[in-house]
Structure 1
Amino acid sequence: MTKDEAYEKRRQECLALARENKKLKKMLAEVDAGTYTVPEKASNLKARNKEHQEMLHWKKEAERFKNNWQQQVKITENFKIAARDAQLDKEDIEKERDEYKAKCEELQSRLDAILGSDSSDNKDLLDQINALKEELQKEKAKNDTDGTNSGLPTSKTPIGKNKVIQNLREKSELKRGGQPGHEKHSLAPIPDNKINDDRYHILTECPSCGSRNLEYVDCIDKDEIDFEIKIINRRHHFYVYKCLDCGKIVHSSIPLHLKEQTQYGSNIKAMILALLDLGYISINRAKRLIDGFLGNGISISEGFICKQQRRASLGLKSFVEAVRLEIIKSHVVHWDDTVIFVNTKRGCMRFYGNNKLALFKAHETKARDGLDEDAVLGALGPDTVVVHDHVLVNYNDDFYFENAECNQHLERDLKSLNDICHHSWASQLNELIASTIHERNQIIASGGDSFPRSKYRDVIHQVDKIMTVATSEHEESTGHFYESDERRLMNRINDYKKNYFLWVKDFDVPPTNNLAERGLRGQKTKLKVSGQYQSVESAGYFADIRTYLETCLRNGVNEVTALQRLTSGNPFTLNELLGGA
């Protein structure tokens, strides 16, 4: 035994003696106080205490059961009282019912007597009753108006009424997400030559037992695709030289976007325009987002953000003009306009375009002057087809293009009328339009480009037959509140049926004007955020940028890429986008 071991053993013995001594002192103190008992006495006391606790427990249980019984007695008594009251109420209600029944029979007999007579007073009463019924039906029709039978946007759905969002997809019983048996789609592994960041995850001890005796066996690779934004403080060096022949001091050309001593780069400007004109967010929120993306390394002022719209618009004047000239040469042109607010007043944002081109124009009003200022419709020739939403100004004599009406609006008007008056001609015409569009889509999907020659004539003939039924149904139900609306719709179809069904004859003409409406949809999102434009000039800045971005997108160019080219002073040209067209 070593000296340390002997010392430790002796220390443990001393501690044991100290504990024993403490225990004896405690027993001695209990003897002095008279509280110490022998084990037999302690056992008896323990049994007595246990029995006392059980007695207390059963007393509490007995008291609880007694309280429950008393409570149940009260509930039973209350139920009996309630039953007696209910019986009395039933007798009162039956008595009151009999009284009302007798009054109704009396009123019915009086009403039958009134209706059976031919006096002028009774005729006035009947007229009032019919007028009230008509007014009630009219108000019900207004209440039933939604996005399926009118142009009412879902955002204007009255409070308390469910929003109706059109969805042509048929609902199935399948759950959302991937279905059993479907192929799973996942990201492909990254090629080794494209890996530019490696992270090594090494173990130093076993996570199961804590051992450090580990042997390398294999490596599991997991690829991750991510990006980071970092601030680049770039300094451009333009060397200055002296020409030894002419003596002039010269330097290399400085780009226009580097005119200041220090300025923000093109990527920051592109990010600003993307947030404002693609994300439609407010200026102060754009500032917070950019500061956050850049790790608060810089703080861009809101004034600088505001300036980017005007600067971008100035750099796009030639592009916007090129788009206008190209639209004039198009065979099919869509156009539509929507209301915007400019400094608390109603303004107008107008769209012209097709599948490859998009031109936006902002104006203070929807007046004809704006159309002339845009210089699009007036420059179109007779070979051009303009698709619109029954805008009567298009039929002016000083326009030479051919008009095509949007069938989507016609279908909504027909459904609205059918919901009110349930006339068969409205549903028949709707079915004809839907089935013909479906047949046309099938032909296009199979590679065809036209109906048989007789199809257009057959469709017009069916429309004429349906309108004959419409005239008959309309004459049989005159005097109703919807009479004038139905007559106007019938006149419109009869007067413009060739324009409504031009898409049957020419497959280049779409049956709807949805392309223009989709083009203006972002404008509504913009107004939901900003509310209004400060001036028509600022609305024009937005229109020019949207012209550039929408045209780039329709030609397969990502909008952010387009903005980076724009802010670097080299925007895409229309010839580039159209492949040199």
Structure 2
Amino acid sequence: MTKDAHIAALQAQVNQLTVLLDAALVKIAELEQRLNMNSRNSDKPPSSDGLSKKPALPRKRGLRKSGGQPGHPGRTLNMSERPDHRIIHPMTGPRCTCGCDLTTVSAHLDWERRQVFDLPPTLLEVTEHRREHKTCPDCQRLHLAPFPRDVNAPVQYGERVRSLAVLLNVEQSLPLARVQELFAGLTGYGISAATVQAAVARTYDKLEIEEAIIHQAVLKSSVAHGDETGARIAGKLHWVHGFSSLLYTLYVVYRQRGGAVINGPESHLADYTGRLVHDCLNSYLTMAGGVKHSLCNAHLLRELTALMELPPAAALPTSWPAGMHALLMDYYRASDHGKGVVSSKELAELDRRYRELLALADREEPPPKQGKRGRPKKSKGRNLRDRLENWQEAVLAFSRHPAVPFTNNLGERDLRPWKTKLKVAGCFRTLQGAQYYARIKGFCSTAKKHGRVVFDELVNVQRKMSFLRLT
């Protein structure tokens, strides 16, 4: 091999190694980015951050101390005017220290009293029902008085026991074995798993009208929240869709994340015409009808943070993500931390900066690359920049409408109980069981939003007298 041929071979080898090195650096950058993902720069939950997690949005410091705040009503245990039991403690000595005999002196009980609130030895009362019967003296026909309609077995649990079982299993996410253990400890009676499951199924059937009322109430709300989370049901991945407002919560279990359940024939949002707050899932954005959109700015801030933390090998240095992150926070502070609207003067200046940053992003982000087939591929920064431009009204809606929040926190908060339930149970064994949980949990969430006691409302459901039917 000649010297020139040897040099050419080495140059070809260097070029090949350079290509491989560039590809390896890009792959390493992608893996590092994936390793550095947390709740600040991705959709990972804050619980995955461990002890290093921080608030998603900055909080006002120095204004409030820890503990109860001024004006808080508190929950001090007050004395009862009608105690169930009263114990009189007699004096231990018959004489005063001066030697006077106190046995003939009248005792008074108005000096001081103390009360102890505690559970009774057993919480279960047994009520026996007996019906009269009479025999006709002429024809000897037997006549029997009817039992109450809900007393239909020789031995059964009452409506409050069934409501407690549903409360513990659904609202408090206790597994069946824990419900049985707690019930036995409080009452001295062992309740079977089948009884708990039957109580859940019965409550589900009785809440059909309430679920329809909740659905219509959310559809009529001016601002609603939509979100979804995955759940393992019957061995397959399903999706739990939350559709909620300040006072109502609806859950829908479906086999897909989007599509028909959002903007198709099985949609629970088909008739909604208010403003829907969501995290920019495409199925929401393509909804037909008069729905207006508001994008969750917490998601946008996390995406901007991820772009700011990209390693140099993954992308060209850009300055617009940091500028847009700071600008959105300026909008947030100018709107009184998302509680009001921005003044027209401030809004004009902030909107001008918004347009300037979009123009800067257009220059800094690489243009789409056309592959061998399909649409041109865009970078993450280019995708985010286009979304901020195309959906500017939805991104900044919170700064113009007082009822629109800065984030989709309400929708995400309404879905958290599902994660708690799945962490405890691992999965739902049947789709029917997940649907039971969805309807009952939606009613419990709605009751709490209305300031109702969930247990009392579950008892009222057994009597078909829930607060939703009476309002």
For Structure 1 versus Structure 2, the TM-score category normalised by the shorter chain is 0.7 to 0.9
In 2: Cα distance, 1:178 partner to 1:318 partner: 39
Structure 1 residue 431 displacement after superposition? 1.7
Amino-acid identity (%) = 19
Whether the aligned pair in 1 keeps the contact of 2:47 and 2:53 (CA below 8 Å) is no
Give the letter for the 2:419 counterpart. K
In 1: Cα distance, 2:87 partner to 2:201 partner: 45
In 2: Cα distance, 1:348 partner to 1:443 partner: 30
In 2: Cα distance, 1:288 partner to 1:398 partner: 50
Structure 1 or 2, whichever has the larger Rg, is 1
Among 288, 295, 313, which residue is 2:204 paired with? Answer: 313
CA-to-aligned-CA distance 1:526-550 (integer Å, 9 cap, x gap): 0011111122111111111012111
- Equivalent position of 1:339 in the other structure: 230
Cα RMSD after superposing both structures: 4.0
Give the letter for the 1:325 counterpart. Q
In 1: Cα distance, 2:76 partner to 2:466 partner: 32
**3-state DSSP of counterpart to 1:267:** helix
The gaps in structure 1 that reach 5 residues or longer are 1-113, 207-212
Whether the aligned pair in 2 keeps the contact of 1:565 and 1:572 (CA below 8 Å) is yes
- Equivalent position of 1:360 in the other structure: 251
1:380 aligns with 2:272: yes
TM-score (ref. length: structure 2)? 0.80
- Equivalent position of 1:265 in the other structure: 158
CA-to-aligned-CA distance 1:85-105 (integer Å, 9 cap, x gap): xxxxxxxxxxxxxxxxxxxxx
Task: From the superposition, tell whether residues 392 and 287 of structure 1 become closer, same or farther in structure 2 (CA, over 3 Å).
Answer: same
**3-state DSSP of counterpart to 1:379:** coil
Structure 1 residue 195 displacement after superposition? 3.1
In 2: Cα distance, 1:205 partner to 1:176 partner: 48
1:402 aligns with 2:292: yes
Task: From the superposition, tell whether residues 248 and 178 of structure 1 become closer, same or farther in structure 2 (CA, over 3 Å).
Answer: closer
1:391 aligns with 2:391: no
In 1: Cα distance, 2:160 partner to 2:284 partner: 43
Structure 1 residue 443 displacement after superposition? 8.6
Give the letter for the 2:176 counterpart. I
For 1:495-514, what aligned pairs fall within 5 Å after superposition?
495-514=390-409
In 2: Cα distance, 1:330 partner to 1:242 partner: 61
In 1: Cα distance, 2:145 partner to 2:171 partner: 39
1:254 aligns with 2:148: yes
1:416 aligns with 2:310: no
1:519 aligns with 2:414: yes
Whether the aligned pair in 2 keeps the contact of 1:319 and 1:573 (CA below 8 Å) is no
CA-to-aligned-CA distance 1:4-31 (integer Å, 9 cap, x gap): xxxxxxxxxxxxxxxxxxxxxxxxxxxx
**3-state DSSP of counterpart to 2:451:** coil
Give the letter for the 1:194 counterpart. R
Task: From the superposition, tell whether residues 331 and 154 of structure 1 become closer, same or farther in structure 2 (CA, over 3 Å).
Answer: closer
The gaps in structure 2 that reach 5 residues or longer are 1-6, 95-100, 312-316, 370-376
For 1:203-214, what aligned pairs fall within 5 Å after superposition?
204=92
Give the number of equivalent residue pairs. Answer: 435
Give the letter for the 2:360 counterpart. V
CA-to-aligned-CA distance 1:52-86 (integer Å, 9 cap, x gap): xxxxxxxxxxxxxxxxxxxxxxxxxxxxxxxxxxx
- Equivalent position of 2:324 in the other structure: 429
CA-to-aligned-CA distance 1:416-452 (integer Å, 9 cap, x gap): 11111563321221222222222223694xxxx6443
- Equivalent position of 1:490 in the other structure: 385
Whether the aligned pair in 2 keeps the contact of 1:563 and 1:571 (CA below 8 Å) is no
Task: From the superposition, tell whether residues 548 and 248 of structure 1 become closer, same or farther in structure 2 (CA, over 3 Å).
Answer: farther
- Equivalent position of 1:71 in the other structure: none
Structure 1 residue 203 displacement after superposition? 7.0
In 2: Cα distance, 1:439 partner to 1:282 partner: 46
For 1:5-16, what aligned pairs fall within 5 Å after superposition?
none
- Equivalent position of 2:82 in the other structure: 194
CA-to-aligned-CA distance 1:230-283 (integer Å, 9 cap, x gap): 22111234556899xxx995746723x322232101121111111111210111
- Equivalent position of 1:81 in the other structure: none
Whether the aligned pair in 1 keeps the contact of 2:332 and 2:338 (CA below 8 Å) is no
In 1: Cα distance, 2:246 partner to 2:135 partner: 54
**3-state DSSP of counterpart to 1:334:** strand
1:470 aligns with 2:361: yes
Structure 1 residue 330 displacement after superposition? 1.7
**3-state DSSP of counterpart to 2:309:** helix
Task: From the superposition, tell whether residues 414 and 358 of structure 1 become closer, same or farther in structure 2 (CA, over 3 Å).
Answer: same
- Equivalent position of 1:226 in the other structure: 118
**3-state DSSP of counterpart to 2:456:** helix
Structure 1 residue 130 displacement after superposition? 4.1
**3-state DSSP of counterpart to 2:365:** helix
More helix by share: 1
Whether the aligned pair in 1 keeps the contact of 2:131 and 2:144 (CA below 8 Å) is no
- Equivalent position of 1:82 in the other structure: none
Structure 1 residue 510 displacement after superposition? 1.6
Whether the aligned pair in 2 keeps the contact of 1:242 and 1:248 (CA below 8 Å) is yes
**3-state DSSP of counterpart to 1:441:** coil
Task: From the superposition, tell whether residues 248 and 390 of structure 1 become closer, same or farther in structure 2 (CA, over 3 Å).
Answer: farther
Structure 1 residue 121 displacement after superposition? 4.6
Whether the aligned pair in 2 keeps the contact of 1:455 and 1:504 (CA below 8 Å) is no
- Equivalent position of 1:275 in the other structure: 168
In 2: Cα distance, 1:299 partner to 1:311 partner: 20
**3-state DSSP of counterpart to 2:322:** helix
Structure 1 residue 292 displacement after superposition? 0.7
Whether the aligned pair in 1 keeps the contact of 2:444 and 2:454 (CA below 8 Å) is yes
Whether the aligned pair in 1 keeps the contact of 2:366 and 2:379 (CA below 8 Å) is no
Give the letter for the 2:159 counterpart. S
Task: From the superposition, tell whether residues 189 and 320 of structure 1 become closer, same or farther in structure 2 (CA, over 3 Å).
Answer: closer
Give the letter for the 2:461 counterpart. L
Whether the aligned pair in 2 keeps the contact of 1:189 and 1:223 (CA below 8 Å) is no
In 1: Cα distance, 2:291 partner to 2:338 partner: 27
Q: More displaced, 512-521 or 430-439?
A: 430-439
1:284 aligns with 2:177: yes
CA-to-aligned-CA distance 1:340-362 (integer Å, 9 cap, x gap): 11111111111111001111111
CA-to-aligned-CA distance 1:442-501 (integer Å, 9 cap, x gap): 694xxxx6443465554433221111222333359x9xxx98211221122122122111
Structure 1 residue 220 displacement after superposition? 5.3
Give the letter for the 2:276 counterpart. V
**3-state DSSP of counterpart to 1:337:** strand
Q: More displaced, 498-507 or 339-348?
A: 498-507
Among 219, 223, 226, which residue is 1:328 paired with? Answer: 219
Give the letter for the 1:390 counterpart. C
Task: From the superposition, tell whether residues 374 and 203 of structure 1 become closer, same or farther in structure 2 (CA, over 3 Å).
Answer: farther
